Amino acid sequence: MTNDSPLKNSGIILWLTGLSGAGKTTIAQHLEHKRQERDRPVERLDGDAICQNLSKGLGFSREDQDTNVRRVGYVANLLSRNGVIVIVALISPYRSIRDELRSTLNHFVEIYINAPLEVCEARDVKGLYAKARSGQIKSFTGVDDPYETPLNPDITCYTAAETVEENVAKKNHDLAGE
């Protein structure tokens, strides 16, 4: 972006969506670092931290997932309207709720973190996929609950085929703040 960009002094919501293990947190951390280097106010809202604080007690049901996504969207909107760059790393599996956010939030950029299920399972350091496959976790996205792929994301990152640096350097919507 050039210095005369309308987003230079306003906030933006970079919403990273994808399966567990797709690489959302890794890309979000790199984006956060890039933005901080440019001395811009930035907040990263990560799914794990959200579950422990903002959405504690919610499960994996569709209703709980939608509630979680709406809560995070609300917080992201509050921050972005005050000039903060908000980087959200959240599975947000259902297309309808993401579309709802797109239509109601300002400067919303949907970023699909695309990785095949097999790759996500291989990266699963928490063992969530194994627990879901054994029945210990019900309604787990990608196993017994769907992940609805975005139809028209603003940006798609292919984490099984591209490096983190390649994904962060994508020029659409100025991910790295350059």
Q: So which residues are the catalytic ones? A: 92
At 26, list the tokens.
């890794």
Contact 11, 83 (CB under 8 A): yes
- Please return the burial class of 148, using the count of CB atoms within 10 Å of its CB with bins 0-12, 13-18 and 19+: middle
Spatial strand order of the sheet with 12-17 comes to: 42-46, 85-89, 12-17, 108-114, 155-158
Q: Do 12 and 86 contact (CB within 8 A), yes or no?
A: yes
User: Assign residue 91 a region: left if phi > 0, alpha if psi is -120 to 50, beta otherwise?
Assistant: alpha
C-alpha 26 chain-centroid distance: 11
